[in-house]
Chain A
């Protein structure tokens, strides 16, 4: 629609342009403390306009420790439940027991965080009025509810030592929902207008899958005798590798919306996450077969996963608060479309 205008703005400029610009620069410098990043941010400055620097989209109103913790616990619980069911089938009673406890505890706690994050917690059950495939939170509700019920019940009977057959059934049900439980949360974040989440909508599910495997495997390693914990170690290392690989793809993406993953608090979280995850995976390979090594590496892997969730969450929040992450990619998209259009006309 705007493509027909020969001179955008026809020479009109914001009346107090100079002062407004100075404000913005000050703000930016505060954001990207490190020298290189600050420069990077400033180069982009000239290329976009905004309404007094105001954000265009609204940042999520989700509370900050709640939602990242929910993402972490849901992931760890999901992968642990799968590990527990498989360990049960392959006669590894300790691993199975630990996996069920991690799954049950994580599931119940994550429900708690989710409900606590609602503006009207007493209306939690309104989520079950409808089922909407367009809403990741609605779909997620129908993953989380059976998963947490099954995983919680399985952990409870495991603790009490009752009904072994029911326990196996509950474990199988929770394992069935474990995978979706670990990855649907990525769609939850990506299916929003938040630039740094939405842009990576095909990558985030793999970050979360990897991170969940690292966390679930890591937590199971901590509490399982080393000679039974082989599968947990393998899953944790594979998960860490996936997480590190896909996070690297996101961070090195040439789009401006990968910038928030490097800057400020999100950048520090992501850096710490990579360090913990890589160290945890390395330590698992070297010393995972010793008790002390298993505890140390499992803790590092879980910490890495947790930090990744905080980093991804914060990067999205930062991208929502700065209008440039909304405007510049949309402008680039329009320019690309115009170029495409022009080329079909000349042909």
Chain B
């Protein structure tokens, strides 16, 4: 099983239109919308400029009147999680944006004060700790025209020179509004549906709280409100979209870390941003959910990350469960036939009547 790649051709024979798996150029049309439907919209969350202010979290809570909970989703409880500045903890029924905080260190060669007797042999070879040098670097960088000095600036840490040993990763996570959404595939009531904007939304008057969507999301986004019974998740502010407004979280974001727009345009912008960062030497930058050949056909809400996805609590290679659905139904049908076969031969093989 592990040897089968997520781009397994196993299904392509049965699924020529990629209805279960694979790239899908027009999700809304596939869901049955007529030709003139709006373009697919989405989020490009650029975590390299996120400052962890949580304005998005608050805006979402306010706009959608989400109840308060602690980092484990318990209602009406205040609790410190012990996870850096993150007391939201996870995406869930009551948190549709979640800002992750990760503190990281790395070993760097700082000029160390010399050890040993004064005047020892190695003394002259060691460069003296020279704070004056760093000061002049910073001064040179204050001039935006000094390109040579600016290239010393590390956009990952906002620090210059040798002192780059600490960095913060902050990322505002959200429902991915997948091209092939596990939650949508699973819903037996039709409560979850694909909107004309290509997003995925729960109709609260239909959901009967069967909970099947919850384990079917490969990202662990959607969850049930225990006291209510129904499930809740980001709607990409469907109400605002239909009124021509930008989603609340993107509107509140002060650094444009959350960018809202037509998906194709965001993808271009993200590719350009990635190229810029890589040319600045940020070798760990990568796009997540941008690739429409991935296991969910690409995300409507995708990310620029500065480390491996699992560091942020994201699955490194998610796959929509329905990819293997034909194989599952085939096995179930074979199993059912086996039961009938065994029963028939058991009856025929027993003489006593």
Name the residue on A nearest B283 (C-beta): A10
Complex CA–CA separation, A92 to B351 (angstroms)? 11
* CB of B230 within 8 Å of the partner chain: yes
Given the contacts A13-B106, A191-B321, A334 and B353 also touching, CB distance less than 8 Å: no
Binds A, one of B57-65, B235-243, B250-258, B306-314: B306-314
Q: How far is the CB of A107 from chain B (nearest CB, A)?
A: 16
Task: Mark each residue of chain A from 194 to 209: 1 if its CB lies under 8 Å from any CB of chain B, else 0.
Answer: 1000110111111011
Given the contacts A2-B308, A334-B316, A130 and B189 also touching, CB distance less than 8 Å: yes
- A2 contact set on B, CB distance < 8 A: 286, 308-309, 316
* CB of B334 within 8 Å of the partner chain: yes
One of A124, A238, A334 near B208 (C-beta < 8 A): A124
Number of A-B contacts (CB under 8 A): 329
- B159 contact set on A, CB distance < 8 A: none
Contact A126 B189 (CB under 8 A): yes
Contact A126 B208 (CB under 8 A): yes
- B328 contact set on A, CB distance < 8 A: 136, 186-187, 190-191, 201-202, 205
- A209 contact set on B, CB distance < 8 A: 335-336, 338-339
* CB of A44 within 8 Å of the partner chain: no
* CB of B123 within 8 Å of the partner chain: no
- A238 contact set on B, CB distance < 8 A: 342, 346
Contact B308 A118 (CB under 8 A): no
* CB of A346 within 8 Å of the partner chain: no
One of A15, A54, A323 near B103 (C-beta < 8 A): A15
Given the contacts A14-B104, A126-B208, A231-B350, A327 and B310 also touching, CB distance less than 8 Å: yes
Task: Mark each residue of chain A from 90 to 121: 1 if its CB lies under 8 Å from any CB of chain B, else 0.
Answer: 11100000000000000000000000011111
* CB of A35 within 8 Å of the partner chain: no
Contact B346 A231 (CB under 8 A): yes
Binds B, one of A81-89, A260-268, A276-284, A299-307: A81-89
Contact A58 B339 (CB under 8 A): no
Binds B, one of A26-34, A157-165, A175-183: A175-183
Q: How far is the CB of A103 from chain B (nearest CB, A)?
A: 12
Task: Mark each residue of chain B from 330 to 353: 1 if its CB lies under 8 Å from any CB of chain A, else 0.
Answer: 011111111110111111011111
Q: Within residues 30 to 57 of chain A, which ones have a CB less than 8 A from any CB in chain B?
A: 48-52, 54-57
Contact B186 A230 (CB under 8 A): no
Q: How far is the CB of B174 from chain A (nearest CB, A)?
A: 15
Binds B, one of A59-67, A148-156, A166-174, A290-298: A59-67
- A9 contact set on B, CB distance < 8 A: 284, 307-308, 311
Given the contacts A54-B90, A54-B313, A209-B338, A199 and B188 also touching, CB distance less than 8 Å: no
Contact A235 B335 (CB under 8 A): no
* CB of A337 within 8 Å of the partner chain: yes
Q: Within residues 288 to 318 of chain B, which ones have a CB less than 8 A from any CB in chain A?
A: 288, 290-291, 294, 307-318
Q: Within residues 1 to 21 of chain A, which ones have a CB less than 8 A from any CB in chain B?
A: 1-2, 4-16
Complex CA–CA separation, A83 to B332 (angstroms)? 19
Given the contacts A86-B347, A182-B336, A206-B338, A15 and B166 also touching, CB distance less than 8 Å: yes
Given the contacts A60-B215, A90-B353, A120-B208, A134 and B322 also touching, CB distance less than 8 Å: yes
25 A-B residue pairings within 8 Å (CB atoms): A2-B308, A8-B284, A9-B307, A13-B106, A15-B103, A51-B100, A56-B219, A92-B353, A129-B189, A129-B206, A135-B186, A136-B186, A140-B188, A179-B339, A191-B185, A193-B217, A193-B220, A206-B335, A213-B343, A231-B346, A231-B349, A235-B342, A239-B342, A336-B3, A336-B5
